[in-house]
Structure formats: C-alpha cells, structure tokens
Amino acid sequence: MVKSEASAGPRARITGVVYLLYFFTAILGAYLDSRKLLISGYVVNSISIALYIAVTLLFYYLFKPVSKTLSLIAALFSLAGCVVTALSLFHPAWSLISPLVFFGPFCLLMGYLIFKSSFLPRILGILMAVAGIGWLVFLSPLGNYLSTCIKVAGILGEGLLMLWLLVMGVNTQRWMLRARGSVTH
C-alpha cells in the first residue's frame, strides 16, 4: 500500500471532521449574532471562516486527482467567498457583496468533481450541484420565494457530503487509481 493511498481515507475523514466543526461554528456564530453578542459572534464567525478555508484546502487535495485545474478553480471560488465573508464581518461595505456569488460556483464545481470522482457516490455530486444552483438562485428575485427550499437543498447537499466523509471516507482504491492517473472520466 502506497503512503498516499493509506492517507486518502484518514484525510477524507479529517475533512469530514473539519467540515462538521465548520457547521457547528457557523450555526453558533449566527445564533450569537442574532442575540447581538457581537464580540463573541465575531470570534466564532472568524473561527468558522478559518475552518471553511481549511475545508477548502482539504477538498482541493482530495479532488486534485480528478481534475487539478477544476479543483483549483473551485478552491479559488471558495477562498474568494471566505475573504468576502471575513471582510463583511469587519466592514459594512463588504456586506453588499454576497459570498454566495462565490460559494454557488464552488458547490457546482464540487458537485461535478464528486460526480466524476468514482471514489464518492455520484448522488453526493448531484446534491452538491443542486446546492450550488440553489445558492445562485438565492441571489435572484426567485430567492425570496424559494428561500426555505434553497436552504434545505444547500444544507442537504453539504451536510450529506460532510456526513459521508466523516463516516465512510472515500473508496481508497479508486482514489489511488485517480491519483496515479489510471482512471479517465
């Protein structure tokens, strides 16, 4: 067993753990903000952003064997969304730019990478793509009417991916074939 094959499973689970921590801190940050506990909200939201940056980098390395270019583009979209989110915490002018402009394409690209990966179930890719479309629709006038459905789709897509990585990881043999360049899709 090659070292990278042995590390693919634990790396996927680590990604799931960091993703779960992101979810917890994002929810806690939103709760603290709603209670006007601004300092605590800033701290927790800053941790949440740092965790999403970590998830982004972990995803880049996890999906690099599928397509280095698309994985990099997805990571750049996500990092841009994280920067906008971080800046909006501390400067109100940045809140005029929705980070969903970046997270929508990120989820779409992740959906495609998952669908093509062969080391994760394709349904997870479809759900992530639906989440990405939902985040983009949320930015349109339709977003007002479909708000609840979009949030459910986003949480379902990203939540199920997080749970799968946490519990199941990836198919390490198929990941290794991808990493070696043996599988073409």
Domain boundaries along the sequence of the chain: 3-176
pLDDT tens digit sequence for 90-148: 888 888 899 999 999 999 999 999 999 999 999 999 999 999 988 888 888 776 767 77
- By the 8 A CB rule, do 173 and 153 touch? no
Which value, in Å, is the radius of gyration of the alpha carbons in the chain? 17
45 or 35, greater pLDDT: 45
Between CA 54 and CA 160 the distance in angstroms is: 18
150 or 27, greater pLDDT: 27
Both tokens of 160, joined, read 């199920």
Check pLDDT > 50 for residue 55: yes
- By the 8 A CB rule, do 45 and 99 touch? no
Check pLDDT > 60 for residue 26: yes
Name which of 62-66, 81-85, 169-173 the model is least confident about: 169-173
Is the pTM above the cut of 0.85? yes
What average pLDDT does the structure give for the chain? Answer: 89
Q: What is the pLDDT of residue 143?
A: 66
Q: Which single residue is written with the structure tokens 């701290």?
A: 43
Between CA 124 and CA 128 the distance in angstroms is: 6
148 or 27, greater pLDDT: 27
Q: What is the pLDDT of residue 185?
A: 47
Residues 8-26, mean pLDDT to the nearest whole number = 93
Model confidence band, residue 2 (pLDDT cutoffs 50, 70, 90): very low
Other Cβ atoms within 10 Å of 65 Cβ, number? 24
